[in-house]
Amino acid sequence: MTWKTAVAIAAGIGFALPAMAQDREFRIGLITPPVHVWNQEVAALNETLAERSDGRFSLSVYPSGQLGNEATMLQQLQTGALDMAWLTTAELTFRVPDMAALHAPFLVDNIEDAARVFRSDVAREILDSLPRATGTVGLCYAMIGMRQMVMRSPIDSAADLNGQRIRITPAPAISRFFEMFGAAPAPMALPAIYDALANAQIDGLDMDYESIINFRYYEHAPHLLETNHHMFGMVALVSGRVWAGLSEEDRTLIEESMQMHCDRTIDRFVDEEADKLATLREAPGIQITEGVGPEFFGDIVERWDAEWGEQTPFVARLRELVETF
Ligand code: BEZ
C-alpha cells in the first residue's frame, strides 16, 4: 500500500472497490487557456497515459475555467464529478493553511530556487493534508513563473501603490501581502482579468510573465515592476473517490505519468523565464522597472512572517530550507 492510499483510506475516501483494467476517459479541468504551458503539458500527459496504458486511459480536457473557477473545480473533485485538475496552490490555501507558506513574500530570489522548493520534501509534506482537507490526492507540484506587478500608472515607490486596486488570485495570504503595503487587493479569477483591466475596474495586477504575454495585459497596464515577490505553484490533483477506485498498478501508472509532466512544466518555466522577460522588453508601449527587491516594500517580509508564521510552521521551515540553497 502506498502512502497516498493509506492517507486516502485514513481520510475515509477508500470505499470503492479497485476497478479491473478497463478503458477510462478522465475529465481534467484547468483555469488556464489552451495556449498556456500547463495546457500543453496536459495535452502531452494525455499521450503519455495512452501510451503507458496501451490505450486504456485518455483525458478529456476542460480549459479556461470552462467547468467554473478553481473553487468550483475543487468541489467537483471532492464529489467525484471531476476526475483530475491542475489547480493553483493559492486556491488550496483556503482548505490547507500550510500551503500559504509557499506564497511567503520573497521566499526565494529566483525561479531556480522556486523549483527547488517545489521539489523539496518539505513542500511535499504539505500535500499529505490534501485527502483529509479536500477529498483529493495531490500527486505533484508544478509551477508558473515568479509573480510580478503590472500597473496602469508609473510606480516609483511603494507609496505610489497605496490605495491602488490590484487584482490578485484569490487567497488570504496573498491578499494580506498587498494590504500590508496599503494596496486594495481585488481577488479575481484569471479569465475575468482582461475585461476588468480594459474597463479600468482595476489599476493593476499580480501576475507571471507567461500570462502577461498570453493575455497581453500590458496593452492596458504598461508599467511592469519586476518584483519576483512570490513563487506561484500548481498541484496536480486527482479526486480521492476516483483514486480509491483505481488498482494499485493504475495509480502507479498515473502517478509516474503525472510526475513526468509536473517535472517538465517546472523545467520549462525555469528554462523560459529569462526569454519571456526578453519578449516583454520588446512589447509595444511597455515600461519595465527591473530589479525591484523586498527593500522596496520596507519591512514587509518581517510583518508577513510574523502574521503567517502563527498560522503555519511551514513559513519558518521553508525559510530555513532556502537558507540551505
Ligand atoms: C492566476 O490566477 O493569476 C493564475 C492562475 C493560473 C495560472 C496563471 C495565473
- Give the Cα separation of 286 and 281 in Å (integer): 7
**DSSP for 155-202, written as a single string:** --SGGGGTT-EEEE-S-HHHHHHHHHTT-EEEE--GGGHHHHHHTTS-
Q: Are residues 197 and 95 in the same domain?
A: no
Q: Which one of 169, 230, 234, 265 would you pick to mutate in the ligand 1 pocket, going by the greatest count of ligand atoms within 8 A of its CB?
A: 169
Considering only CA atoms, which of 10, 1, 26, 254 is closest in space to residue 138? 254
Q: Which helix (H) or strand (E) holds 299?
A: none
Residues 288 and 176 in one domain: yes
Task: Classify burial at 205, counting beta carbons within 10 Å of its beta carbon; exposed 0-12, middle 13-18, buried 19 or more.
Answer: buried
Our answer on whether the CB atom of 102 is closer than 6 Å to any ligand 1 atom is no
Q: Quick check: helix, strand or coil at residue 6?
A: helix
Q: Are residues 198 and 55 in the same domain?
A: no
What are the cell numbers at 273?
523565464
- Is residue 217 domain-shared with residue 238, that is, in the same domain? no
Does 214 lie in the same domain as 239? no
Angle between helices 248-281 and 37-52 (to 10 degrees): 150
**Res 182: pLDDT:** 97
Taking alpha carbons only, the member of 135, 140, 145 closest to residue 108 is 145
Same domain, 288 and 256: no
Q: Domain with 71 in it: what CATH number?
A: 3.40.190.170
Asked whether 228 lines ligand 1 (CB < 6 A), one says: no
Residue 96 has a pLDDT of 98
The reply to whether 279 falls in a domain is: no
In this structure, the answer to whether residues 9 and 83 fall within a common structural domain is yes
Residue 119 has which C-alpha cell? 521539489
Q: Whose CA is nearest to atom 7 of ligand 1?
A: 32
- Quick: pLDDT tens for 54-106: 999 999 999 999 999 999 999 999 999 999 999 999 999 999 999 999 999 99
Kindly state whether residue 81 falls inside one of the protein's structural domains: yes
CB 89 less than 6 A from any atom of ligand 1: no
Q: Are 317 and 323 in contact (CB under 8 A)?
A: no
| 94 domain residue, yes or no | yes
Q: Looking at ligand 1, which atom is closest to the CA of residue 205?
A: 3
Q: Give me the residues of the chain with pLDDT under 70, please.
A: 1-21
Distance 101 CA to ligand 1 centre (A): 18
Cell triple for 278: 526578453
Measured in Å, residue 266 CA sits from the centre of ligand 1 at 15
Owning domain of residue 10: 3-145+231-273
Whether 37 and 141 share a structural domain: yes
* Claim to verify: residue 224 and residue 244 sit in the same structural domain: no
The domain total for the chain is: 2
pLDDT of res. 274: 97
Whether residue 278 is contained in a domain is answered as no
Q: What is the pLDDT of residue 22?
A: 75
Q: How many percent of the chain have pLDDT more than 70? A: 94
Exposed/middle/buried for residue 275 (C-beta within 10 Å: 0-12, 13-18, 19+): exposed
Q: Is the CB of 134 under 6 A from ligand 1?
A: no
Note the pLDDT of residue 16. 45
Whether residues 134 and 213 share a domain: the answer is no
Do 10 and 138 have their domain in common? yes
pTM: 0.93
What is the pLDDT, as a whole number, of residue 21? Answer: 61
> What is the pLDDT, as a whole number, of residue 211?
97
> Does one domain contain both 226 and 256?
no
